[in-house]
Amino acid sequence: MEVVVIGGAGHVGLPFGLVVADQGHQVVAYDTDASAVEKVLDGSMPFLENGASELLAKVLEAGTFSASVDPAVVSDADVVVVVIGTPVDEHLNPDPSVVLDALIDLTDRFRPNQMVILRSTVFPGVTRRVEAWFADHHPGIDVAFCPERIAEGFALTEIVSLPQLVGARTAEVSDRVVAFFETLGVQSIRVLPEEAELAKLFTNTWRYIKFAAANQFWMMANEFGVDFEQVRSAITTDYPRAADMPGAGFAAGPCLFKDTMQLAAFSGNSFALGNAAMMINEGLPLYLIERIEATHDLSDMTVGILGMAFKSDIDDNRSSLSYKLRKLLLFRAEHVLCSDPYVVDDRLVSQHRVLEEADLVVIATPHSVYRELDFQQPVVDLWNLTDQGVLI
């Protein structure tokens, strides 16, 4: 089967394309990012993803995978998988037209009997708009919404191990899409498109709210002089009803915040829980600094930040709260030095320099390598990597 992935060189599209190619389908990753496409064709991953470098080499050698900036490849596909970013704007409003605009740009490339699978997280109702557009301009093309459900760093295993939501309007379309995912060995859950759209937004928002609850609990414990990690450990030990209580830490990245704001906009901005979660999670860097300032005069200190990615052991710094922490510290500390073993950013310095020059270090991202460090200065560690607790 010929498969084209639109947005195929990105963090979500590329792992999916590699997995599909590994199952014997002929896959082309179509992307407008020429530098990313060039890297992929050279056998280099544009970003970190566990196992992806090896799989890329394997499918390139097998001849089942390629990448291109030429939109003409869409015409050759039996299956067109759409995986493009759907960000909110500077006013935290989603743009429901992003996906449809991308398809309109390719209007001359589609042909009858193709199957279009939307995997981008979309505002509720977008799938219906895409269906209507195809019905008007390319009748005979089947459309389904099948959201990605993976976590970065675990994409290759989760694509094939997690059940796939298949949001289709008719049994015929659903059967066709389910048959495709069966070739990947993936279990499907059949729902309507609107149910799948809400399911994806509810999932990410639920996680975001849980992180906010944990962060507010941490703040409460701090104010009372109690180590939240000790409390959390006591609660969750052999107690299944609280086993999923997360620890404190920065909750950010390209999905959770954005999808919570999409859901807030969908609800007419009456989503009090989502808005409260946003205020707590986005306010955490400032709260952290205020706690530090209670015992340290930052104005004559060099502060080091370890970790600029939005989560551990990856190189993705999109919407990372480490950068908000840096920006706030630049107004308060004499010097701010930032480091990350994976993120590429000209503003970063070596880990060695941070440890040598910083008067105080904040572990902003819980990269595994930080567990082995020997700190000679005070350390602010929300993640308890140093096993010293999280009381600040």
User: What's the pLDDT at 92?
Assistant: 85
- Is 338 domain-assigned? yes
Per-residue pLDDT at 184: 98
Residue 389 covered by a domain: no
Residues 184 and 307 in one domain: no
* 151 shares a domain with 26: yes
Q: Which long-range contacts (CB under 8 A, 24 or more apart) does 359-362 make?
A: 359/301, 359/302, 359/303, 360/292, 360/296, 360/301, 360/302, 360/303, 360/304, 361/303, 361/304, 361/305, 361/306, 362/288, 362/292, 362/303, 362/304, 362/305, 362/306, 362/325
Q: What are the CA-CA distances from residue 16 to residues 1, 144, 177, 182 (Å)? A: 15, 16, 15, 14
CATH code for position 94: 3.40.50.720
Q: 175 and 213 in one domain?
A: no
Q: Quick one: pLDDT at residue 89?
A: 87
CA 209 vs. chain centroid, Å, equals 16
Same domain, 226 and 311: yes
218 shares a domain with 176? no
Residue 189 and residue 93 share a domain: yes
Residue 265 confidence (pLDDT): 93
* Token pair in block for residue 213: 């609850």
- Tell if the pTM clears 0.75, that is, is over it: yes
Residue 141 is classified by DSSP as -
Same domain, 12 and 46: yes
The pair of three-digit structure tokens given for residue 222, joined into one six-digit string: 């701090």
Residue 72 lies in a domain: yes
Residues 266 and 260: their CA atoms lie apart, in Å, by 10
Last residue of a domain, one of 173, 194, 215: 194
Quote the pLDDT of residue 63.
Answer: 98
Pull the structure tokens for residue 159: 């694509």
Let me know if residue 387 belongs to a domain: no
Rounded Cα–Cα distance for residues 362 and 274 (Å)? 27
Mean pLDDT by 10 residues, the chain (392 residues): 96 98 98 98 98 99 98 98 91 88 95 97 95 96 98 97 98 98 98 98 98 98 97 98 97 95 93 98 98 97 99 97 98 98 98 98 98 96 95 94
Is residue 40 situated within a structural domain?
Answer: yes
Q: Are residues 250 and 376 located together in one domain of the fold?
A: yes
Q: Which two tokens stand for residue 99?
A: 């996906």
The radius of gyration of the chain from alpha carbons, rounded to an integer in Å, stands at 23
87 belongs to a structural domain:
yes
- Count up the domains in the chain and report the number: 2
227 and 289 share a domain?
A: yes
Domain-embedded: residue 157? yes
> Domain residues for 245?
204-381
Of 138, 169, 194, the last residue of a domain is 194
pLDDT of residue 90: 84
Q: Is 199 inside a domain boundary?
A: no
Based on the domain organization, do 222 and 134 belong to the same domain? Answer: no
CA distance 298 to 288: 13
Q: Are residues 70 and 210 in the same domain?
A: no
Residues 186 and 211 in one domain: no
Chosen domain end from 194, 226, 241: 194
